[in-house]
Chains A and B, each alone.
Chain A
Amino acid sequence: MTEAVTAAEPARHAASLAVWDIPAATTAGEHFAVKVGAKSSGGCGLGGCRVDVLDSAGAVLASGQLGAEPWPGTDALFWSEIELCAPSAPGLMPLAVRFSADGLVEPHDSGASPFHVAVVAAPDHVLTVTVAAAGSPVADAIVRAGPIRATTDETGRARLHLAKGRHEIAVWKTGYDAPITPLTVEADATLRVEAKVLPEHDPDAISTRTRSGRRELRVVGAGPNRSQAMTDDALPDRLCNNPNSPHYNEQVLSRDVGIRFNGKEKTNVEEYCISEGWIRVAAGKALDRYGNPLTIKLTGAVEPYFRDKTEG
């Protein structure tokens, strides 16, 4: 019940904090509420105590008084709902909550607990995303553009209210895999995302060698039954053809990967990263002391693709 103490100090209790029901995304300038709870390490009732929400400079934005009843499901987490206003600039707003022990018989130590609120620009358009797998709509999938999210209905459709500009649309549902689609929103639009049903995994099958256990994607040999094995056309965000690199991927590199860089075909790429927008190309025939080619980093738009796919 009590914190560890050193002989010189009197026993002091501590209050620890939780902040929840933070909206996934808040529109700039709008009001929203969060719940704040405090727990005493000494088991003290904290009902009536004050909690403050601070901005990144430490100024108090709002305060609340903890209620008399603990949050359902907890032992003694006394809580309050606090209303806040989102700033006008989009971004991740850093905030903190602080507990005040004023008025408690037992003194309580408490630091400020940080949390963040995602503030997004006011929406201009509606993007209707339809998620399907093997020809059927996928319901209850979460569709998101950064912090903005919506859930698909029975027809596999979800509506995202988005500001103009570039977004990355991700789809998630347990048991499915779906690509991330980058797009620029300029008007109301629709997007169809084809998800893959992940094969059910037998818990007795040994599958520690590839990511997410999809062993059948492994490409090996020219055995009669293996030629069809590669069915996955997703290229990783980052890929390197040095086997010692963590970004080396034998499975992907077993196929011919082509790179378009700023729209031009490049044949001497040693490594690329799409999200960070760069490639490394071999600098002539020079090798470093480990026998690896010396490389130069170039920045720009990177578009990798499977050659066998475009040709076939």
Chain B
Amino acid sequence: MSKPTQTAVNRRSFLTTGAAGAVAAGAGVTEVAAQGTITWDQTADVVIVGAGVAGLPAAITARDLGASVIVVDGNYDIGGRGMLSGGRVQLGGGHALQQKFNIKDTADQVFMDWVRHDDGESRYSDRDLVRVFADENVSTYQFLLDNGVEFIEKPIGPVDASTLPRIFVTKEWHIPAEVVAPHRARNGSGLVRRLTESARKKGATILLKHRMTRIIREQPMAGRVLGIEVKTPDRTINIRATKGVIVATGGHTGNVNFRRMFDPRLTEEYQQACEPYVSQDAGGELAAMDIGASLWATAIQTTETGAAITKTRHIGCRWGYSSLVYETDSVMFPQAKATGLTVKDWQDVIMVNQFGKRFWDENDDSHNFFNAAMAYSGDKSKLNGGGPIWAIFDVDGAAREKWNTKPPNVDPDGWFYSADTLSELAGKIKSQYQKQPMPGTALADTVTRYNTFVAEGVDKDFKKKTPMFKIEKPPFYAAWATPILHDALTGLRTTTDAQVVDTRGQVIAGLYCAGESQGGFAQHGLARCLVFGRVAGRHAAKNSA
């Protein structure tokens, strides 16, 4: 079978034809009574949820092996977070481009690096998964080249747990209007657009605005996975997967309830780095867990080494993640509403919590800073989470940073305020996350105290290195600067073939997972998603269901 087919089958007849494999007929029949009849609107060998960094290589790999492929994506366009990424791909093992720069790498070295005990980013990983990752690095790099992905020939590194330069950056997509966040080196756009081109050319069907809402298994907690339920803009359909369903939905950090399983501090005020283009809403994890799937290596989410949470670099807008700015000509600008003010030097601002109090050294960008920002703020109505964090500065600070404090640089609708005096500024701050007004005297007192630290050159409260500038000259500004969430570092448990495993340690036949929704390997970003996307696509295509 090579092309998806439109079929409508009665679930009972489907089960009784024996296509369900090893499931006992009795159990299947009972289950039919419990779940009713399923009408399949479409069928393919391999059905992939998510046309992002893991889903696209899964689709191509499965097609290369002759399987028919349907990819569904809830978004209006492909790429997921990969579209917004910097395109820094950390693959090694001694691939062609590494060789060109005389970087002597091996699969074993990749493995040894990413299981290092002395690095928090590698320590907690499932070494069986890391071994597969290491062994698939060179072939994955070649796979990218074979499918049209272009790289800038400049090695970067070593970074993270790596001991050798392994990062090469993909070339940005050449049509700015299709980059989503143009003019900002979103080189990952080239990666996902090229892979999409190739996937389509090879005959994969990509259905946009198709959101998976349920994974259909023979029985709620037993038997094979049969397909998925999908919401389209106008209806709900069922897509049957004869060989496998691959969850490549990109992680969970946008789902407040889900992320708080790992860290109860992560309440609703923390925004998400990839919004508003895509949200990491844990849809894949939840659908899989509903049919029995397990999470894996959950410690990784909270090791305080990776980028689960990051400092806001563009302040005064809702989404100010380090590398992501939606300029006014971005298709996302109408939702993002502001580009933000990019902080060059944290000496130019102080940061205060919702009560107008400083909480840490503004220069620090370690997890010590995040821990202080998320500390109990004194809000008796909300004990978890640290509440909003605001950057406070004066007109001189804005001048030093060369900021224009007007829209479209800032969003005055909840994320940026200005006033003639500090106490007036405190009173003006209104945010859906600021549960009570900031006390004006508290903010003024904080600034007065900080100004004495500037005069003396010593921060007696938080040891900011030689506090440089007083905040005294009107007008005064408050800009949203609450830390912003980034990576999902844990997810569904899988085998080394990317087959999802249930809470009893049993493989869920016909269900796969790759990308940030997969648990077990702490590496940041693209490389692990690409590798395990291929692994999942390959195994699913070969699956003799």
Contact = CB atoms under 8 A, between A and B. Distances in A.
Interface of A: 16-22, 24-25, 37, 39, 41, 70-71, 73-77, 92, 111, 113-116, 118, 142, 144, 146-147, 168, 170, 172, 174, 180, 202-213, 215, 220-221, 223-226, 237, 246
B323 interface: yes
Given A77-B475, A92-B456, 12 more contacts: A18-B474, A37-B474, A114-B448, A116-B448, A174-B347, A206-B160, A208-B311, A208-B367, A209-B305, A220-B116, A221-B116, A221-B163
Contact of A144 (B345, B423, B466, B524): B466
A210 B366 CA distance: 5
Contacts of B419: 39
B421 A16 contact: yes
A18 B323 contact: no
Contact of B422 (A18, A21, A223): A18
Nearest to A70: B420
Nearest to A94: B452
Contact of A170 (B185, B306, B457): B457
Given A144-B466, A147-B457, A203-B322, A208 B441 contact: no
Given A113-B444, A147-B457, A168-B457, A224 B163 contact: yes
Contacts of B359: none
Nearest to A218: B119
Contacts of A142: 468
7 contacts: A16-B421, A20-B394, A116-B451, A172-B466, A204-B88, A209-B366, A224-B163
Contacts of A208: 305-307, 309-311, 365-367, 370
Nearest to A17: B421
A148 to B, nearest CB: 10
Contact of B363 (A41, A71, A212, A215): A212
A210 B88 CA distance: 21
Nearest to B398: A73
Given A111-B441, A209-B366, A144 B457 contact: yes
Contact of A212 (B159, B365, B444, B466): B365
B456 A146 contact: yes
A77 B455 contact: no
Which of B307, B364, B420, B421 neighbours the largest number of chain A CB atoms within 10 Å of its CB? Answer: B420
By secondary structure, the B interface counts as loop
A206 B421 contact: no
Contact of B474 (A20, A209, A237): A20
A21 B395 CA distance: 12
A172 B346 CA distance: 12
Contact of A205 (B85, B159, B420): B159
B164 interface: yes
Contacts of A16: 420-424, 440, 444
B470 interface: yes
Given A39-B420, A204-B85, A20 B472 contact: yes
A240 to B, nearest CB: 14
By secondary structure, the A interface counts as loop
B158 interface: yes
Contacts of B159: 205-206, 215
B88 A205 contact: yes
Contacts of B118: 220-221
A306 to B, nearest CB: 20
A223 B163 contact: yes
Interface in B22-38: none
Interface of B: 85-86, 88, 113, 116, 118-120, 156, 158-160, 163-164, 185, 304-307, 309-311, 313, 322-323, 344-345, 347, 363-368, 370, 394-395, 419-424, 427, 440-441, 444, 448, 451-452, 455-457, 463, 466, 468, 470, 472-476, 487, 524-525
A39 B116 contact: no
Given A37-B421, A207-B365, A220 B119 contact: yes
A273 to B, nearest CB: 11
B344 A174 contact: yes
Given A77-B474, A147-B456, A225-B164, A18 B420 contact: yes
B158 A225 contact: yes
Nearest to A219: B118
A75 B417 CA distance: 13
A226 B160 CA distance: 12
Nearest to A224: B163
A213 B365 contact: yes
A231 to B, nearest CB: 15
Contact of B424 (A20, A41, A212, A225): A41
Contacts of B86: 202-204
Nearest to A215: B159
Nearest to A173: B345
Closest 10 CB pairs of A and B: A204-B86, A203-B323, A223-B163, A77-B420, A16-B421, A20-B473, A118-B455, A206-B307, A174-B345, A16-B423
Nearest to A75: B420
A170 B466 contact: yes
Contact of A71 (B306, B427, B474): B474
Given A209-B366, A211-B365, A24 B310 contact: no
Given A118-B455, A204-B85, A220-B116, A18 B306 contact: no
B367 A76 contact: no
Contacts of B158: 225
B487 to A, nearest CB: 8
A211 B366 contact: yes
Contact of A24 (B305, B367, B455, B524): B455
Which of B158, B424, B463, B525 neighbours the largest number of chain A CB atoms within 10 Å of its CB? Answer: B424
A86 to B, nearest CB: 13
A116 B456 CA distance: 11
A24 B455 CA distance: 7
Nearest to B323: A203
